[in-house]
Amino acid sequence: MRLLRRKRDLPEPGTLGVERVLLASEGRPISAPAVELAARLAAQGGGRVHVFSVARVWGSGFGLPNPGLLPNKREWDAQREIVGTAVEALQRRGVEATGHVLATRKATKRIIGEAKRLECGAIVMSADPPRNRLVADLMWSQEPYRVRRRAELPVYLTT
């Protein structure tokens, strides 16, 4: 186990040709630059894009799942709308796109797991500007940076 991870250099988006791209969100709306980058990566490799969003589970009560902590209908609908909008934008650009929403407490693990399951060559996410690492580990909005640190494949963040 390595305690200090070496910062990896990402391949330039213009040189990367992948068959599948995962356009992921930890719950935030997917930005137009993220959709554009995912479409460009997919077009270069002649592939397709899968849009994936996480509906947040807020925890557990006494170690057991608690229905009050699960996403409600409004939160599910909001995530489905985010995915649907991104899929439509990709299809307008001529890219084959699919999407789905899952509920989880561990968005980083789930996003990386979906990328592996779908055999994606790259992950694209919208992100806030980076924060101090100590504070960032406590913030849900810094999830894209955790994905970038833990993923073995290239993760492109658009701010």
Please state the pTM of the whole predicted model: 0.85
Rounded to the nearest 10 degrees, what angle do helices 73-92 and 32-45 cross at? 50
Asked whether residue 33 carries a pLDDT value surpassing 70, the answer given is yes
Q: Which amino acid is at 46?
A: G
| pLDDT tens-digit series, residues 83-103 | 999 999 999 999 999 999 999
CB-based burial, 80-109: b 16+ in 10 Å, e otherwise: eebbeebbebbeebebebebebeebeebbe
Question: 10: pLDDT confidence band, cut at 50, 70 and 90?
Answer: confident
Assess contact for 128 and 157: CB atoms under 8 A: no
The pLDDT, as a whole number, for residue 95 is 94
In this structure, which amino acid lies at residue 139? Answer: M
pLDDT given for residue 58 in this prediction:
76
pLDDT score recorded for residue 79: 95
Residue 2 clears pLDDT 90, i.e. is over it: no
Where helices occur in the chain by DSSP H, the ranges are: 32-45, 73-92, 107-117, 133-136, 143-150
Query: What length is written for the chain?
Result: 159
- Domain covering 20-158 assigned CATH 1.10.10.60 in the classification: no
pLDDT for 105 beyond 90: no
Question: For residue 47, is pLDDT > 80?
Answer: yes
- HSE value, Cβ hemisphere, 13 Å, CA-based, for 87: 15
What is the percent of the chain where pLDDT is above 90?
57
Q: Are 123 and 110 in contact (CB under 8 A)?
A: no
pLDDT at 159 over 90: no
Query: Which are the contacts of 33, defined by CB distance < 8 A and separation ≥ 6?
Result: 126, 158
Instruction: Indicate the domain borders of the chain.
Output: 20-158
Mean pLDDT of the chain: 86
Dist CA 56 CA 98 (whole Å): 21
Give me the pLDDT at residue 57, please: 85
